[in-house]
Structures are given as structure tokens and as C-alpha cells.
Chains A and B, each alone.
Chain A
Amino acid sequence: MQLDISFIWTAFRQILGAIPTTLSITAVSVLVGFLIGAVTALARLYRVPVLSQVSSAYVTFIRGTPMLTHLLLIYFGLPMIIDGLAGHFGWSFRSASIPMIGFAYISFSITAGAYMSEVVRAGLLAVDKGQTEAAHSVGMTTPQALRRILFPQALAAALPNLSNSVIGMLHGSTLAFAVSVVDINAKAQIVASTNWKFFEAYLAAALIFWGLTVLIERSSAWIEKRIGAYNRGGVA
């Protein structure tokens, strides 16, 4: 078996069609994960009675177990719960009507939520306490201080970690093959096994992922520069 350079290009073009699936899984998990992360991080920071303990347990559990187990647990566990409830309450909704990609969305969002929770928390902690105090002293309420003063600054502080998490979720989306969603990785597998050229197909997939990652890194660095512009030292 010899390395077939031209097949890399053929595989590359075929795999390109799976990019939207990968990106949509990444986007959904990052966005929903950020919401979950923000809520759990605030609950922990403000020590909201029950919610903060639940959040801590959630973050510890998710960060201590592989993403694949979350996916498999959701994939096998969720239908059990839904069908059990549906049978009990007589709903017409059945778990079979959930599309495969739905399981990936749900489970990866839950995974991302725990990592985002740490990112948001670290970002909020990085903002000087004086900022909140100043906001309160000019008469802002806590939600106002959070939205107008803390969040913008925390976002700038959290951006490098945020971009790491986005890349982590992009790479994690390769696990979707376990619930038979055809993302870049699964497509590479299909192209590889139909043509019996495994190395070339995975090389093409690796190049695509590499490109996407570099793109995310570059744009994050660019945004970081813009968003942190107010924070430079000096006199001019």
C-alpha cells in the first residue's frame, strides 16, 4: 500500500460536506454550554443556597469523567427516562422521535456547561473587586453592575480560556460517531473504508480540523486585541 497523494484531495473534498454538522454541534454545545456555565458559575460565586452545591457537584462530576461517557449515558439513559415518563403520564411523545444529532447536542452542551462554568468563574474572579464596589457606589443594582461593568471585563479576561474551550468542543465533536452522526470524523471513516485508504482519509480530516483550529485561534487573538484595548498601560 503506497501513500496516494491525489486521494488526499479527493477525500478532502468529500469530507468538506460534513463540516456544517461538526460546526453546528460545536456551536450548539458552546452556546448552550455558556448559558449553563454562566448560571452555575454565578450560583457558585454568590453562594446561592441549594443551587451552588448542585452546581459544584455537576462541575466535579462532568470534569472528572470522559465526554464519551456523558454521550453514552445520555444516549441510553434519556430515552429510558422519557419513555418511562411518557408511559406514566400518557404523552404521545416517544424518545424514538429524537434525532440522533439531538443526543449529541444535549450531551455535549452538558459537557461544555461544566467547562464553561470554570471559564466564567475564573473570568469573573479576575475582575478587580473595586469595580463592583465602584458600580454599587454610583447606585447600580447588582444585575446592572454585572451586566455593565463585570461581564465586559470578565469576557476579556476569559477569552483565552474561552477559545480553548471552543477548540476543545470542536475536537470533542468527533465523538458524535458513537451515536452515528456523520461529522468530519465519521465521514473520514466512511470515505476511508469505502476506498480502503485509511491514512489518506484521516490525513484529510486532520488537515480540516487543523485549519478550523487555527482559524479559531487567530480570530480569538484578534478579538482579544480589540477587546483588551482599554486595558493597556502607559500614558498615551
Chain B
Amino acid sequence: MGASFDIGYVFSFLPKLLDTLGVTLLIVAGSLLTGIVAGFLVALPRMYKIPVLRALSGVYLSFFRGTPILIQLFLFYYGLPELLKPLGFDLSRAPVMLFVILAYGLHTGAYAAEMIRASVEAVDRGQVEAAYAAGMTPYQALSRIVLPQALGIAVPVFSNLVIALLKDTSLAFTLGVMEMTGKAQTLGTLTQHFVETYIALALIYLVISFTLEKVLLAAERRLNRHEAREERVVRRFALGKRGSYRAALADIETGKGGGI
């Protein structure tokens, strides 16, 4: 199987793989934008308990969290043109990237919705009551009081979400998009130095996830600077209690557990 191991190839593959980093990051950025918009659309009916829409967003969440991203990619790629054809849209010539970003975006949207809901709920109820008491409209209360506070709570979950998305993009090659993993496979096949390519690939992913994590940690610190320094005590797992919920949320991996 392939030629013998030569560490030199790892270094010569790194710049070649980095050429396609832009494609990977484009998928991440595009899906993140789509995902956050979709997340808000799905989370709002659930937070405000709007009758029918709430049930629909429940189905959306269940489906996108209940099926593997790989299956979703194929479903979108093969299914969307067929579903939209009767409506007069011809997607048979649409770029693959569109399907990829849409699939990753809606997948991320399901996790983003839960993130938004959980962090908004973690903001103390008294904050909203005080906003109403001061005469704000519901929209003002949400945008001026709740969301800025929820943002700080959401960052650790968001960080996990982005890193999970980055790792998920390694599947886009199955639809023929030339991102980093696809490039690595091509390089491996060309040179027969598979192990070296995948080591180089893993290193790049590792560096990006590590950087993302550190950047978002700094963002979290900054967003939460209004908070009094809490003593980080070991907590019991009674999540229902208001006081502990907020702090506990940061420790829990809401969303994707393991995988891909």
C-alpha cells in the first residue's frame, strides 16, 4: 500500500493543501451565516410559543439533528432539484457549492436554534421584567437587554458549533467539491503517500480549530466582562436551579456530541 513513509512529504503537502483552505473556509462562513439566520427563524417560534410554527420548528430540529450530515448532503444534492422542478426552478445547472452551503447551513441551523434558545433562556427573567417595567416594547427588550447578555452565554456553545462545522466540511468532497480533504485524497492518489497527506491534513485542521477556540475564548471573556468574577466551584448537577443554570451551561456541550 503506497510508498514508504517520508516525513518530507508532509511539509511539501502543507502548502498544496493550504491552497484549498479558502474553499473550506468559504463553506464554513457561508453555512454559518445561513445557519444563524435559520437558527433564529426556528428558535423564535419556540421561544414565543407560536402555535403551528412551533411544531414545525420542532420537526425541523428533530430531522436535522436526527440524521447524519452525510445523508443530508446527498438528500439536498439529489432531492432539491427534483422538489423545486415542479415549482419552475431549474437547479440542474446550479453550482454544487450552493447545495453544500445550504445543507451545512440548515444542519448548523438546527444546532444554532438550540444554542439561541438555551442562551436566551439563561438570561434572568428579571431582566426582561425590568425592561418591560421601564416601558420597552418586547422587541426592544429582546434586542437591547436579552440578546447582548445571551451573546456572552452563547459563545462557548458557538465555539463548539463552529469547530464541529469545520470538521464536518471534510465531507463536502463526496459531492465533488475540491476542499482540503478532497485535495488531500487527490494528492494521496497521485503520489501514493497517503499517510503523509493525511497527517498534513490533520495538522491544518488542528491548527484552525485551535485558533478558533482561542479567539472565541477571548471573545467570551470580553463579552462577559460585565459579569462579576464567579468563583468556579464544583457544581451539583441540578440544572433546574436558576443560579447554577447559567454557569452550568458553559460547561455543558450543548449540541454535537462527538462525531465526524
A-side residues, CB < 8 A to B, are 1-3, 60-61, 63-69, 72-73, 76-77, 79-80, 95, 111-112, 115-116, 118-119, 122, 125-129, 156-157, 160-172, 174-175, 185, 188-189, 192, 198-199, 202-203, 205-206, 209-210, 213-214, 217, 231, 233
Chain-A contact segment, one of B34-42, B45-53, B146-154, B248-256: B248-256
- A76 closest partner in B (C-beta): B194
Whether A213 contacts B79 in the complex (CB less than 8 A), given A65-B167, A169-B259, A206-B72, comes out as no
Chain-A contact segment, one of B61-69, B93-101, B137-145: B61-69
Q: Is the CB of A171 within 8 A of B198?
A: no
A-B contact count (CB 8 A): 172
Bound-state CA distance A68–B236 (Å) is: 36
Bound-state CA distance A1–B85 (Å) is: 10
Within the complex, the shortest CB–CB distance from B117 to chain A, in Å, comes to 16
Q: Is the CB of B258 within 8 A of A65?
A: no
Q: 9 tightest CB-CB pairs across the interface, nearest first?
A: A164-B257, A168-B259, A115-B258, A168-B258, A171-B68, A198-B78, A213-B66, A66-B170, A157-B237
Bound-state CA distance A35–B209 (Å) is: 26
Interface residues of B in 232-250 (CB under 8 A from A): 234-238
Q: Is the CB of A165 within 8 A of B258?
A: yes
Within the complex, the shortest CB–CB distance from A72 to chain B, in Å, comes to 5
Within the complex, the shortest CB–CB distance from B98 to chain A, in Å, comes to 17
A65: which B residues are within 8 A, CB to CB? 167, 202, 205-206, 209
Whether A3 contacts B70 in the complex (CB less than 8 A), given A67-B260, A115-B258, A168-B256, comes out as no
Q: Is the CB of A209 within 8 A of B67?
A: yes
B5: which A residues are within 8 A, CB to CB? 80
B259: which A residues are within 8 A, CB to CB? 67, 115, 165, 167-169, 171-172
Q: Is the CB of B234 within 8 A of A125?
A: yes
Q: Is the CB of A64 within 8 A of B66?
A: no
Bound-state CA distance A171–B257 (Å) is: 10
Q: Is the CB of B209 within 8 A of A209?
A: no
**Sample of 14 A–B contacts (CB below 8 Å):** A73-B198, A76-B1, A76-B188, A119-B253, A122-B251, A126-B237, A156-B237, A171-B260, A188-B71, A199-B78, A199-B82, A209-B66, A213-B67, A233-B238
B57 contacts the other chain (CB 8 A):
no
0 or 1 for each of B180-201: is its CB under 8 Å from A? (1 = yes): 0100000010000011001101
Bound-state CA distance A192–B201 (Å) is: 31
Q: Which of A127, A160, A198, A217 contacts B74 (CB 8 A)?
A: A198
- B167 closest partner in A (C-beta): A66
Q: Is the CB of A164 within 8 A of B258?
A: yes
A217: which B residues are within 8 A, CB to CB? 66
B126 contacts the other chain (CB 8 A):
no
B163: which A residues are within 8 A, CB to CB? 63-64
Q: Is the CB of A202 within 8 A of B205?
A: no
Q: Which of B62, B71, B238, B251 contacts A205 (CB 8 A)?
A: B71
A192: which B residues are within 8 A, CB to CB? 78
Q: Is the CB of B234 within 8 A of A174?
A: no
- A212 closest partner in B (C-beta): B66
B238: which A residues are within 8 A, CB to CB? 231, 233
Q: Is the CB of B67 within 8 A of A164?
A: no
Q: Is the CB of B256 within 8 A of A164?
A: yes
> Known contacts A69-B170, A69-B205, A76-B195; can you find 18 more A-B pairs with CB under 8 A?
A2-B82, A60-B206, A64-B209, A64-B210, A66-B181, A66-B260, A67-B259, A119-B257, A127-B237, A164-B253, A165-B259, A172-B68, A174-B68, A199-B82, A202-B78, A206-B75, A214-B66, A231-B237
